[in-house]
Amino acid sequence: MEFTELADYPLPAGEVTEWIPRLIDHESAGDTWGEDPRPLSYLHEEYCTRGSIARSARAEGDRHPGSWLGAVFVVPHRHDPTALGRALTTWMRTHEVFRTTVERSHDTDGPVLRRRGTDLDVEVAQKAVGILPSGTAVHHHLLDRFEALSPLRWPHCVLATITRAEPIVDADHLDDRPEIGDDEFLLVFGADHSVMDAYSMLLAIGEIQGLYAAELSGTPTRPAEVGSHVDFSEQDRLRGADLHDRHDAVRTWEEFLAQEGNRFPGFPLPVADTAAPCESTRRPNQSGMSSWVLSAEQADDINRWARASGHSMQTAVMAALAVAARSLSGEETIRFAMPMHTRTDTRYSSSIGWFVGVVPIEIDLAGAQTLEECLATTGAAIADRKSLAQYPFPRVAEITGIDATPRFVVSYIDARYVPESSHWSRWGARTLRGAADSDDEVYLWIVRSPKGISVSARFPGNRVATENVHACLHRLNAVLALPAGAHVRHDTVRAIDVSAAG
């Protein structure tokens, strides 16, 4: 499963229909939204504050400069608008996070954020856009729609379908995009990050497919009850309230950030193009890339090697990244922020929402000569910090007074067991993210799916960053190829000599 911007997906021309949530009878309800006493999670609150207040100068007009996530995939059935509307309505009614919003007001101390909820039912209704003659036109339309999403304006998730249309006389024949079959259509959705994380995107693909197939067959199913992210937020606030300045989690974060002058660590290679003229004070747009680096069979080879030493595939990939960075930078230690899920309660295993914590990872390979030694060192480093995910970092920042934004982030997801993941390739499924702007952030998203392992990235859009990020990922591929070979004796492979393999 790749994770890219919408522009990187080959959208076809066709008839576009938007699917927009609405509250039933909302025109006649004077008090559509009421106050919900349940608090926002620390992450949700920080996101709304950072986006709506601290970064408001970056907004264009009344737009909130947040971020959106989504997915695109082929639905391999005929397009039945009535059935699809019922399926999407069922999906949104299943997850309470789609039926709440956030309101900003002011008191004597400044801006205040409050959760708002509704007792009205949500219904997803279609809105015809019309036939768009090129994939480029479709892209521009959808991008405008998704970029307008905001954590402070409901709805927080919108969808669109693209169905086959008769050839258009004025179509741009140079727009070489795939066509849609007669018995299928494309579905695309975007959601504000406040109501969705990466795992939620993956869950949504199979859930929507299943609900629609059931509606078409005339046997609609009632989804199993799932936990609500709104309830999770209460638990998150309780965990945050337990933190204090002498708590181990707070002290660990303080020590980690102090090494960079109370900043998050950056990418291990330069990402600033100091030779380029500075022509603007605006944060530059970021570039991105995505590629498949290992087949399913190669990933299985590495997993067997890691398991034989008592470690996981996640540890093997992070060890390979540490080895690659050391071979290029000459530094023994790699440091980064690592997102980890907080779905520790089984009630939330199938929930849509933002269930993510972040942990500070520091892998010191000093003295590690073989891949197995690097694996052991990395495993110990991750195990030592993994429990910190349950403690919300925005609360840590509040206690310490540190105002810092992650600069080098590495995410790993094993998505092989997400429902319906075996069909993702056949459906042409891809997860999506909105554009980002930063002159020093580097994000790597590593996903293991039934097809293999993919690596997606975003980084500063300049020559230096592009060259160094690509060099690091190329070296990462080379390191991963070593244990993927069945003939290799891993205890004798010198990790410090991987430059020869890359």
Question: What is the structure's pLDDT at 273?
Answer: 86
For the cut 70, the answer to whether the pLDDT of residue 492 exceeds it is no
List the structure tokens of 346.
């089984």
Question: What is the structure's pLDDT at 384?
Answer: 96
Q: What is the sign of the dihedral through the CA atoms of 411, 414, 420 and 426?
A: positive
Name residue 298's amino acid. Answer: Q
Residue 364 CA, chain-centre distance (Å), reads 27
**Cross-strand pairs, 101:** 116
Question: What is the structure's pLDDT at 178?
Answer: 66
How do residues 16-42 score in pLDDT, each as one tens digit?
999 999 998 755 545 688 999 999 999
Mean pLDDT of the chain: 89
How do residues 344-386 score in pLDDT, each as one tens digit?
999 999 999 999 999 999 999 999 988 999 999 999 999 999 9
Question: What is the structure's pLDDT at 110?
Answer: 65
For the chain, the domains span 3-231, 245-269+285-500
Query: What is the Cα–Cα distance from 174 to 177, expressed in whole angstroms?
Result: 9
Compute the half-sphere exposure of residue 28: CA atoms within 13 Å on the CB side of its CA.
Answer: 2
For the cut 50, the answer to whether the pLDDT of residue 206 exceeds it is yes
Higher pLDDT, 134 or 498: 134
pTM (global) more than 0.75: yes
How do residues 151-186 score in pLDDT, each as one tens digit?
999 999 999 999 998 765 455 544 555 678 889 999
Question: What is the structure's pLDDT at 53?
Answer: 40
Tell me the average pLDDT across 265-289: 81
CB 288 within 8 A of CB 456: yes
- Within 10 angstroms of residue 261's Cβ, the number of other Cβ atoms is 7
For the cut 50, the answer to whether the pLDDT of residue 52 exceeds it is no
Question: What is the structure's pLDDT at 285?
Answer: 84
In the sheet that 442-449 helps form, which strands lie side by side, from edge to edge? 286-295, 452-460, 442-449, 408-414, 333-341, 356-364
- Within 10 angstroms of residue 289's Cβ, the number of other Cβ atoms is 16
How do residues 432-490 score in pLDDT, each as one tens digit?
999 999 999 999 999 999 999 999 999 999 999 999 999 999 999 999 988 775 444 44
For the cut 70, the answer to whether the pLDDT of residue 62 exceeds it is no
Which superfamily is assigned to 245-269+285-500 in CATH?
A: Nonribosomal peptide synthetase, condensation domain (3.30.559.30)
- Within 10 angstroms of residue 162's Cβ, the number of other Cβ atoms is 25
For the cut 50, the answer to whether the pLDDT of residue 274 exceeds it is yes
CATH node for 3-231: 3.30.559.10
In 3D, which of 20, 175, 45, 171 has the Cα closest to residue 102? 45
How do residues 76-116 score in pLDDT, each as one tens digit?
999 999 999 999 999 999 999 999 999 987 776 667 888 99
Question: What is the structure's pLDDT at 181?
Answer: 84
List the structure tokens of 446.
């590593």
CB 11 within 8 A of CB 138: yes
Tell me the average pLDDT across 246-270: 97
> Residue 364: which H helix or E strand, with range?
strand 356-364
- Residue 107, judged by CB atoms within 10 A of its CB (0-12, 13-18, 19+), counts as exposed
Q: Are domains 3-231 and 245-269+285-500 of this chain identical in fold?
A: yes
Query: What is the Cα–Cα distance from 458 to 439, expressed in whole angstroms?
Result: 11
